């Protein structure tokens, strides 16, 4: 009986009899218990069995259950499903990652973190309707039911010990380094292959593109401004922008000289 947290036994409304069993921290493990009542007529009874989920599980509000596709699950799994819904539907604000832009479904739940507790309900009990028969000719004295319960994975402890082992950690780190080196080697080989393939298809065009790329990289490395290749040609200075640039240059020089003269006159007057 270790898989159950609470059991409720009740007869029909006309009998008005019920019995409840609750698990407590001091409850000893047992295979079950018996309920006896004197009587000479068959009665209908209902058994409500509440499973003892570890960690605790919750049933979702019907609206949230339809949204996430989850009926009963742990709090951590529910929060993970909420976050997965946000990522799948791209609801996270692009400028401020702390804000979530609610869609028409999320708008039904304002302040989700605070209201999540109200949207988590106790799991549905296992309901068994049974007829206690006093007919000696009735052969159905015993009823058996299969109930699914969650048990801890037996491999979990082995996996934990494996991951915490220092010897294994060193081996894993060594394998990770080899993986990174192999990936880097693959990327370098891919670059070389793309280079050779592009060169074989169009040697002239590829060399020109490659020289342009190298020129851009050289400018970034040496902080060179402009295009020396174009600036050394006379046609470069016959463009419309050159006249405007000359006018701006002389205007700035005139303003500079005017300020110098005004400052000189002000000094003489004082």
Distance (Å, whole) CA 68 – CA 156: 28
Look at residue 204 in the predicted model and tell me its pLDDT: 86
- Terminal C-alpha separation, the chain: 106
Helical pair 112-119 and 75-88, crossing angle rounded to 10 deg = 130
Token pair in block for residue 231: 């600036």
Nearest to 46 by CA among 130, 124, 141: 130
CA distance 147 to 51: 10
Whether pLDDT at 266 is above 70 = yes
For residue 12, is pLDDT > 90?
no
Higher-scoring residue by pLDDT: 123, 184: 184
Is the pLDDT reported for residue 14 higher than 60?
Answer: no
SS (H, E, C) the chain: CCCEEEEEEEECCCCCCEEEEECCCCCCCCCCCCCCCCCCCCEEEEEEEEECCCCCEEEECHHHHHHHCCCEEEHHHHHHHHHHHHHHCCCECCCCCCCECCCCCHHHCCCHHHHHHHHEECCCCEEEEEEECCCCCCCCCCCCCCCCCCCCCCHHHHHHHHHHCHHHHHHHHHHHHHHHHHHHHHHHHHHHHHHHHHHHHCHHHHHHHHHHHHHHHHHHHHCCCCCHHHHCCHHHHHCHHHHHHHHHHHHHHHHHHHHHHHHHHHHHHC
The tens digit of pLDDT for each residue in 141-196 reads: 777 888 877 777 778 777 777 777 766 777 888 889 999 999 999 999 998 898 88
Q: What is residue 179's predicted lDDT score, i.e. its pLDDT?
A: 95
- Rounded to an integer, the average pLDDT of 14-28 is 70
Dihedral pair phi/psi, residue 105, rounded to 5°:
-85, -40
For residue 187 the two structure tokens come to: 């990327």
> Span 38-66, mean pLDDT?
81
Side-chain-facing half-sphere of 126: CA atoms under 13 Å: 15
pLDDT (average), residues 119-138: 79
* The pLDDT of residue 123: 82
For position 177, what pLDDT does the model report?
Answer: 92
Instruction: Give the pLDDT band (50/70/90) at residue 223.
Output: low
- pLDDT, tens only, 57-108: 888 888 888 888 888 888 888 888 888 888 888 888 877 777 777 787 777 7
pLDDT, average across residues 244-256: 87
Architecture of domain 57-121: Orthogonal Bundle (1.10)
Q: How confident is the model at residue 7 (pLDDT cuts 50, 70, 90)?
A: low
Please tell me the predicted confidence (pLDDT) of residue 3: 57
């Amino acid at each position: 009986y270790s898989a159950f947290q609470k059991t409720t036994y009740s007869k029909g409304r006309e009998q008005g009899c019920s019995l409840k069993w609750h698990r407590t921290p001091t409850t000893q493990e047992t295979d079950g218990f018996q309920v006896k009542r004197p009587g000479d007529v068959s009665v209908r009874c209902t058994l409500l069995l509440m499973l003892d989920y570890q960690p605790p599980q919750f049933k979702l509000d019907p609206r949230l259950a339809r949204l996430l596709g989850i009926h009963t699950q742990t709090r951590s799994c529910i929060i993970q499903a909420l976050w997965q819904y946000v990522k799948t539907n791209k609801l996270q604000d692009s400028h401020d990652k702390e804000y979530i832009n609610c869609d028409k479904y999320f708008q039904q739940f304002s302040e989700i973190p605070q209201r999540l507790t109200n949207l988590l309900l106790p799991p549905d009990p296992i309901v068994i309707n049974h007829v206690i028969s006093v007919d000696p000719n009735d052969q159905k004295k015993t009823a058996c039911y299969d109930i699914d319960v969650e048990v801890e994975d037996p491999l979990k402890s082995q996996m934990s010990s494996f991951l915490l082992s220092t010897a294994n950690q060193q081996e894993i780190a060594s394998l990770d380094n080899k993986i990174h080196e192999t990936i880097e080697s693959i990327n370098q080989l891919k670059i070389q292959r793309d280079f050779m393939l592009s060169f074989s298809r169009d040697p002239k065009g590829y060399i020109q593109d490659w020289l342009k790329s190298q020129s851009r990289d050289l400018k970034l490395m040496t902080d060179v401004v402009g295009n020396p290749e174009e600036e050394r040609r006379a046609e470069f200075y016959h463009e419309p922008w050159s006249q405007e640039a000359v006018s701006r240059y002389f205007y700035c020089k005139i303003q500079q000289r005017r300020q110098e003269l005004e400052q000189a006159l002000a000094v003489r007057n004082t």
